Copies of this chain bind each other. A is one copy, B any other.
């Protein structure tokens, strides 16, 4: 995926917020030698202590302003709802010519919250790496998280092409493929591929938890039959996902409406015993899976690499 680059892409990268994405970025940047120095800041003293203990970031700072000082790239890695506040806090400390980016799962809302705080002479290039696990916190990161995954850059009016190109080089150096799209389209695509699936998974896991007639231990013991994948999705960071749904409200509600409509049609087919409708629907969805495997975004190995998991 990656190679050691002779010359760092940035002199100093500041990571604000030290969760799964930021910690993976640090290890991926180090793996490929993409920055001269990486500074880090987290609001919680406990997180900063953990980061210092495990060697996460070359230098962990006690304020966001100290972390961004002299940085030519600042990446906001906090929940979407906290982006605006952090941007206001660091604005006075930003170096002229620096680039500010973020890794939020929603782009229109982040741009509206962050852009007004960006000083003249500083570039703003929002981004969103489509990678994650259900784990969170400074110890959850690993250098391979972005390998062969997509990172979407969402340039705003006035994003300088050279600032976009440099950020692209960083993400490619961390192993990702990079695409550009506009904020509204991003938010709709993500409502389909990520936000609505997460809400549905959270719902299904909640239903299972509620059912008194099916004990918890049974649901857990027998989870291998499909439910297990939902629990992994539904174990993602609650604060991050609360913010996603509150800030990508319109697109999520639109896709949810479509989902409910289709679900009711299938439910009706079950009730009326319309096997042909069910069979046709299930045959159609199967072909999408083939496309994903051909696109290299998952494995077709019959055992899912299960042997290696044990």
A224-249 contact mask (Cβ, 8 Å, vs B): 1 or 0: 11111111111110110111011001
Task: Pick from A48-56, A59-67, A166-174, A293-301 the stretch touching chain B.
Answer: A293-301
Chain A residues touching B, majority SS: helix
Distance in Å: Cβ of A123 to nearest Cβ of chain B: 25
Q: Indicate if the CB atoms of A199 and B289 lie closer than 8 Å.
A: no
Task: Pick from A10-18, A89-97, A113-121, A280-288 the stretch touching chain B.
Answer: A280-288
Q: Indicate if the CB atoms of A233 and B229 lie closer than 8 Å.
A: yes
A216 touches B (CB below 8 Å) = yes
Q: Indicate if the CB atoms of A242 and B189 lie closer than 8 Å.
A: no
A250-267 contact mask (Cβ, 8 Å, vs B): 1 or 0: 001101101110110011
Complex Cα gap A306–B232 (Å):
15
Chain B residue nearest to A299 in the complex (CB): B309
Complex Cα gap A202–B234 (Å):
18
Distance in Å: Cβ of A172 to nearest Cβ of chain B: 16
Contacts of A196 in B (CB 8 A): 204, 207
Contacts of A149 in B (CB 8 A): 224
* Given A190-B225, A207-B192, A302-B133, also A267-B263 (CB < 8 A): no
Chain B residue nearest to A205 in the complex (CB): B285
Interface centre among A219, A231, A246, A309 (most CB of B within 10 A): A231
Cross-interface CB contact of A285 among B141, B235, B273, cutoff 8 Å:
B235
Contacts of A213 in B (CB 8 A): 188
Q: Indicate if the CB atoms of A301 and B291 lie closer than 8 Å.
A: no
Q: Indicate if the CB atoms of B231 and A292 lie closer than 8 Å.
A: yes
Hey, which bits of chain A sit against chain B, CB under 8 A?
81, 105, 130-135, 140-142, 144-145, 147-150, 152, 179, 188-190, 192-211, 213-214, 216-236, 238-239, 241-243, 245-246, 249, 252-253, 255-256, 258-260, 262-263, 266-267, 270-271, 273, 275, 278-279, 281-286, 288-292, 295, 297-299, 301-310
